[in-house]
Structure 1
Amino acid sequence: MTPRRKSSLLWGVVGALAFLALVQGYRLLVESLTVSAAVFGAVALLVGATAAGVTYVLEPRIHGNGRS
Structure 2
Amino acid sequence: MNPRVKASLLWGVVGVLAFLVLLQGYELYSGYRYAIGLKVGTTLLVAVGTMLLTYVADGVLD
Query: Which TM-score applies when normalising by structure 1?
Result: 0.82
Summarize the alignment of residues 8-23 of structure 1 with structure 2, pairs less than 5 Å apart. 8-23=8-23
Size of the alignment, in residue pairs?
62
Once the two structures are superposed, residues 2-51 of structure 1 have per-residue CA deviations (whole angstroms, 9 ceiling, x without a partner) of 01000001111111111110000001101133x21221121011001000
Q: Which runs of 5+ in 1 are unaligned?
A: none
Q: RMSD of the alignment, in Å?
A: 1.1
Greater Rg, structure 1 or structure 2? 1
Structure possessing the higher relative contact order (Cα contacts under 8 Å, 6 or more residues apart): 2
Name the structure with the higher helix share.
2
Does residue 1:51 correspond to 2:46, yes or no? no
Q: Percent identity?
A: 44
Query: Which TM-score applies when normalising by structure 2?
Result: 0.89
Does residue 1:41 correspond to 2:40, yes or no? yes
Supply the distance in 2 between the matched residues of 1:8 and 1:32 (Cα, whole angstroms): 32
